[in-house]
Amino acid sequence: DVETSFARNSPLSVQVEDDRTGLSLETLKRAFLDNLFYVQGKSPDIATAKDYYMALAYTVRDRMLHHWLSTGQTYRRTHARTAVYLSAEFLMGPYLGNNLINLGLYDLFEQAMEELGLNLKEIMDQEQEPGLGNGGLGRLAACYLDSMATLEIPSLGYGIRYEFGIFEQAFHDGWQVEKTDQWLRWGNPWEVRRPEWAVHVKIGGHTEGYTDHQGRYQVNWVPDKVVRGIPYDTPILGYQVNTANTLRLWRAESPESFDFDAFNRGDYYGAVNSKIISENISKVLYPNDDKLEGKQLRLEQEFFFVSCSLQDMIRLLMSEGLPLEQFPEKFTVQLNDTHPAVAIAELMRLLVDDHEMAWDLAWEITQKSFAYTNHTLLPEALERWPMYLFGSLLPRHLEIIFEINRIFLDQVRLKFGPDNERIARMSLIEETGGRYVRMANLACVGSHAINGVAELHTELLKETVLKDFYELFPEKFVNKTNGVTPRRWMVLSNPRLAKLIDQHIGTAWPTQLDQLSKLEAYVDDPAFRNEWREIKQANKRFLTARIERLTGIKVNPDSMFDVQIKRIHEYKRQQLNALHIITLYRRLKQNPDLEITPRTFIFAGKAAPGYFMAKLIIKLITAVGDIVNRDPVVRDRLKVVFIPNYNVTNSQPIYPASDLSEQISTAGFEASGTGNMKFALNGSLTIGTLDGANVEIREEVGAENFFLFGMTADEVTALKASGYQPWQYYEENAELKGVIDLISSGFFSGGDTETFKPLIDNLLQQDRFTVLADYQSYIDCQDHVGKVYQQDQENWLRMSILNAARMGKFSSDRAVREYCKEIWHVDPVSIELQEYSKMVA
Ligand code: B1N
């Protein structure tokens, strides 16, 4: 039995090494049992499912380490230019399955487990995913890491190792309740703690000016607290390449010497307390999506991970023997929204104060280094920090921002003359009613490139929130439409469809997604069509079983699966979807024999814990489900399910089992969306507005293969400008009135007319997201969707195949290639696996 082993011919080749790299079935089984025994300390008779997971994870990790160490060594040796992704969120999803796919070892490990009487999928189900993000923004960061590694782009992701990620969602009486996420409870086999690269971060205090021995004015920042940042590294494998990049997440601890001081003074409790306070910084993820929570701790988190990361980059630069001036040649730093934008002031401080660089050179380096991605137009999400708060935590950074602002506003005056309103709008400091530091303005001034995440979004940025900056710096603005990784969102999560595609167009499509267009040749092929349909049915049956397990609700896999899964937000308009369900229900109550397309409405998504209206929307959906699912008149033609605790793990079986993808945000509010891409890629049809990337998806798949409804962004703006009066839509539309009145009557709340009153009042009186104005268009479109699904199944199938075949553009590989070419100017570096003996020599 010849084993594939990196160290096969090396003098250091011993049994232990072989167990960690070998790939024969016998070696894999032995390595797995060894890890169970020696790492988990368990014999099979008392091993739990968690032990099996851990043993398997370590067995897989061992097979990643040559990739990882060879990659690092190559980057150091070649001084590789590196793309740095700075993000407060990384929503990585479970690692085990993804790592097996990217190593190309999935089938082999499945067989090895089977030979041990174990089931790989069941073991994979044991993983607690690191939920270190809220939604699209965090998941985008994860897809980009996957693509950067796959494209062999030297890259580093920097973020925060939150001890508690996004909360776990449970339900009481149809209301969301939050439970703490304890993802680290069973240990994390994928990370390596690196205390030797810890850094110190100053917070608070004051600054002191002094003149140095050369007669230059310098500033000394005297903090009132110092925290220690410890990096935890996770390898990020590319797909079927040797590259393994690094995700480096920082944990906050207290500096040992500080504890020691207090301890020596006999203040044991004080020492322990200061440790607790320091550790708070990386304790918990703020669970808001598209909404700023202006809390001191949040600003501390942002500054903490940014300072740690920049110090680490400078260490790496110097360890390669490169001078500080080379920072922008060694690194290009992408700011994932403004959450890390304080990096602009922190790099200036590190260069000017700590490294005594002249201001102008430091500023040139800073602008060359950073690029900024904007992810939202919602004004309530734009980060602004009360100036007193900012100054009390970061006194030196506030001074630096004032100086950046002084020079910048002179530049504005030079170009536009004495336009005080413009100056007030563009200033880094907001002074109208309370003073604030504006992070988006800082990001625009300190970056050489600014991008939106879909074409429409970028255009709207230029016309609205960043208009002044576009007029000053038109050359900085570019669009980078989002993408998703086909490895996780097809190969891993839809293996049946992936296999069918392999059989027809070969196996290159996961890295060359445009090749999916070859599927168009089979759109009329009866055998292919049959298999396409059967795979969708099989995926629906699988999800049906899961739904029953998770909710107790039996759904019909032959019904249309009509799915809206995403964060709950008024602009995403889950309430519009609910109005449609109630519309259909009323029609059935009025005419029980009405012919309707049987539908299963599937929802999943979390509401921010402090977002009352979003929680009320969840309650409305579950309340409607309670009535509709039990009503004998419905005769199972409508079912409403809310799958709890939406996260990456729970989403993976949903996209492949969906027929209809709900992308129904008010036009102009969803920056891009990325779930929309995952659905279409897996052969679901979209009902959607002309918002975010929907516009481009429709362009690619063809208008005839997309169910469009609703106002355009311009129409929404115009309607509001003309004085939108939502109650008029209610008064003039009998069916809409009937639906609203049914909710108001207490029909879905056990006769209680108070429960949904805030939601109804809001719709009738404000309706910021024009739900009522789009109601009829949505209902008409849904009626059409129902007809096509029921009466024109052959056409539906054709549309499904064409959607998947035309989604090539939306691979995150395409997006990353565009960033590399147009913003980062980073080239691939291919990795040769180094032999173990040479690496340790
Ligand atoms: O970013 C995604 C987009 O596809 C979505 O359309 C967009 O809504 C999402 C503050 C955000 N924008 N802003 C956030 C998240 C957390 C937070 O604290 C804002 N998320 C998005 C990827 O581009």
**Cα 672 to ligand 1 centroid, rounded to whole Å:** 9
> Has residue 269 got a pLDDT over 90?
no
* From 66, 384, 567, 698, the catalytic residue: 567
**pLDDT tier for residue 369 given thresholds of 50, 70 and 90:** very high
pLDDT of residue 290: 80
Pocket of ligand 1 (CB under 6 A): 134, 136-137, 140, 288-290, 337, 375-376, 381, 453, 482, 670-674, 692
Distances (CA, A) of 582 to 171, 572, 720, 780: 22, 18, 27, 14
CB 428 within 8 A of CB 401: yes
Distances (CA, A) of 430 to 396, 402, 423, 433, 440: 19, 12, 10, 8, 12
Query: Please, what is the Cα angle at 195 between 190 and 199, to 5 degrees?
Result: 120
3 state DSSP class of 126: coil
> Has residue 266 got a pLDDT over 70?
yes
pLDDT of residue 259: 56
- Please give the Cα distance from 818 to 384 (Å, whole number): 30
Pocket perturbation via mutation, ligand 1, pick of 375, 566, 569 by most ligand atoms within 8 A of CB: 375
**pLDDT tier for residue 7 given thresholds of 50, 70 and 90:** very low
**Cα 48 to ligand 1 centroid, rounded to whole Å:** 38
- Stretch 567-594: mean pLDDT: 98
Q: Report ipTM for this prediction.
A: 0.96
pLDDT of residue 256: 76
- For residue 412 the two structure tokens come to 């504005």
- Stretch 673-683: mean pLDDT: 99
**Cα 801 to ligand 1 centroid, rounded to whole Å:** 30
**pLDDT tier for residue 835 given thresholds of 50, 70 and 90:** confident
- Which is nearest to 74 in space by CA: 245, 260, 289? 245
DSSP 412-470: HHHHH-S-HHHHHHHSSEE-SSS-EEEHHHHHHHH-SEEEESSHHHHHHHHHTTTHHHH
pLDDT one-digit tens code per residue, 770-822: 999 999 999 999 999 999 999 999 999 999 999 999 999 999 999 999 999 99
The pairing of beta strand 685-688 with beta strand 707-708: parallel
**pLDDT tier for residue 260 given thresholds of 50, 70 and 90:** low
**Cα 89 to ligand 1 centroid, rounded to whole Å:** 10
Closest C-alpha residue for ligand 1 atom 4: 673
pLDDT of residue 13: 47
**Cα 250 to ligand 1 centroid, rounded to whole Å:** 22
* From 566, 606, 619, 637, the catalytic residue: 566
pLDDT one-digit tens code per residue, 317-362: 999 999 999 999 999 999 999 999 999 999 999 999 999 999 999 9
> Has residue 6 got a pLDDT over 80?
no
Pocket perturbation via mutation, ligand 1, pick of 137, 458, 570, 695 by most ligand atoms within 8 A of CB: 137
* From 375, 396, 540, 580, the catalytic residue: 375
pLDDT of residue 227: 97
Ligand 1 atom at shortest distance from the alpha carbon of 140: 22
- Please give the Cα distance from 490 to 497 (Å, whole number): 8
- Please give the Cα distance from 449 to 506 (Å, whole number): 38
pLDDT of residue 815: 99
> Has residue 16 got a pLDDT over 60?
no
Closest C-alpha residue for ligand 1 atom 1: 137
- For residue 486 the two structure tokens come to 């086909």
Closest C-alpha residue for ligand 1 atom 11: 290
Domains parsed from the chain with CATH numbers: 82-94+129-480 (3.40.50.2000), 495-809 (3.40.50.2000)
Query: At a CB cut-off of 8 Å and minimum separation 6, what does 420 contact?
Result: none
- Stretch 384-399: mean pLDDT: 98
**pLDDT tier for residue 401 given thresholds of 50, 70 and 90:** very high
Is 432 tagged catalytic? no
The amino acid sitting at 268 is: Y
Query: At a CB cut-off of 8 Å and minimum separation 6, what does 347 contact?
Result: 310, 327, 362, 365, 366, 369, 370
Q: Of 160-169, 288-297, 685-694, 757-766, which gets the smallest average pLDDT?
A: 288-297
Ligand 1 atom at shortest distance from the alpha carbon of 89: 16
Tokens 């007319």 belong to: 753
**Cα 758 to ligand 1 centroid, rounded to whole Å:** 26
Ligand 1 atom at shortest distance from the alpha carbon of 291: 10
- Please give the Cα distance from 234 to 407 (Å, whole number): 41
- Stretch 214-230: mean pLDDT: 95
Element (H, E) at 754: none
Is 375 tagged catalytic? yes
Ligand 1 atom at shortest distance from the alpha carbon of 692: 6
Instruction: Give the side-chain half-sphere CA count within 13 A for 579.
Output: 27
Ligand 1 atom at shortest distance from the alpha carbon of 674: 4
**Cα 291 to ligand 1 centroid, rounded to whole Å:** 9
Distances (CA, A) of 215 to 210, 211, 212, 218, 725: 9, 5, 5, 9, 67
pLDDT one-digit tens code per residue, 274-311: 888 899 999 999 999 888 998 999 999 999 999 999 99
> Has residue 36 got a pLDDT over 70?
yes
Helix axes 757-765, 612-630, angle to 10 degrees: 110
> Has residue 75 got a pLDDT over 60?
yes
Closest C-alpha residue for ligand 1 atom 16: 289
Is 27 tagged catalytic? no
**pLDDT tier for residue 83 given thresholds of 50, 70 and 90:** very high
- Please give the Cα distance from 687 to 705 (Å, whole number): 10
> Has residue 761 got a pLDDT over 60?
yes
Is 397 tagged catalytic? no
Is 572 tagged catalytic? yes
* From 234, 622, 674, 689, the catalytic residue: 674
pLDDT of residue 4: 45
> Percentage of residues in the chain with pLDDT exceeding 70?
96
**Cα 287 to ligand 1 centroid, rounded to whole Å:** 12
**pLDDT tier for residue 267 given thresholds of 50, 70 and 90:** confident
> Has residue 5 got a pLDDT over 70?
no
Query: At a CB cut-off of 8 Å and minimum separation 6, what does 108 contact?
Result: 23, 25, 28
pLDDT one-digit tens code per residue, 425-480: 999 999 988 999 999 999 999 999 999 999 999 999 999 999 999 999 999 999 99
Is 737 tagged catalytic? no
